[in-house]
């Protein structure tokens, strides 16, 4: 092989190697920072990374909201129809937060199994609701599901 061709081939191979490594690193970082939420069933089945901050989405169970006197702390239960998770939040809840409505809580799962939330988001309208959550909400509303 001619020395110039050999040198060009080596340069092309190095560029391809670096491009592949860069693409792999970008995909890995984006996957780590994806902002998905877990369901209460996934939390109960330990399908999450323990000790990490995560988002849990579901419906607020009817009659589960408990407010504490003299503080902003509130405790409520989220469900996906199969499992329940208790959420404790110390802060101001969104105006649209209500029983039998969708909510997403961001926080850390404690050893006791409850989520200590740092943020709670409420469903704002029908335009941005994942299809799985719509089906679950329709099912729960039709059965008037209560906390067990």
Q: What is the CATH number of the domain that holds 121?
A: 2.40.50.140
The predicted-structure confidence for 10-26, as pLDDT tens digits, reads as follows 999 999 999 999 999 98
Indicate yes or no: pTM above 0.75: no
Q: Is residue 73 part of a domain?
A: yes
Q: Does residue 119 share a domain with residue 62?
A: yes
Q: Does residue 55 share a domain with residue 18?
A: no
The answer on pLDDT for 32 being more than 70 is no
The predicted-structure confidence for 55-88, as pLDDT tens digits, reads as follows 999 999 999 999 988 899 999 999 988 999 999 9
Tokens of 70: 């003299």
Domain range enclosing 12:
1-34
Total structural domains within the chain = 2
How far apart are the C-alpha atoms of 63 and 76, rounded to whole Å? 9
Q: Does residue 106 share a domain with residue 78?
A: yes
> pLDDT tier at 145 (50, 70, 90 boundaries)?
low
Q: Is residue 106 part of a domain?
A: yes
């Amino acid at each position: 092989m001619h020395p110039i061709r050999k040198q060009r081939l080596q340069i092309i191979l190095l560029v391809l190697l670096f491009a592949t490594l860069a693409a792999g690193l970008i995909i890995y970082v984006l996957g780590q920072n994806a902002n998905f939420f877990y369901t209460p069933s996934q939390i109960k089945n330990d399908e999450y990374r323990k000790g990490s901050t995560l988002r849990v989405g579901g419906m607020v169970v009817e009659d589960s909201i408990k407010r504490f006197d003299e503080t902003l702390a509130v405790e409520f239960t989220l469900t996906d129809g199969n499992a329940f998770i208790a959420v404790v939040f110390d802060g101001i809840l969104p105006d649209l937060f209500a029983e039998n409505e969708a909510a997403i809580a961001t926080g850390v799962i404690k050893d006791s199994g409850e989520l200590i939330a740092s943020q709670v988001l409420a469903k704002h309208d029908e335009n941005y609701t994942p299809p799985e959550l719509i089906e679950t909400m329709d099912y729960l509303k039709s059965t008037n599901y209560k906390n067990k």
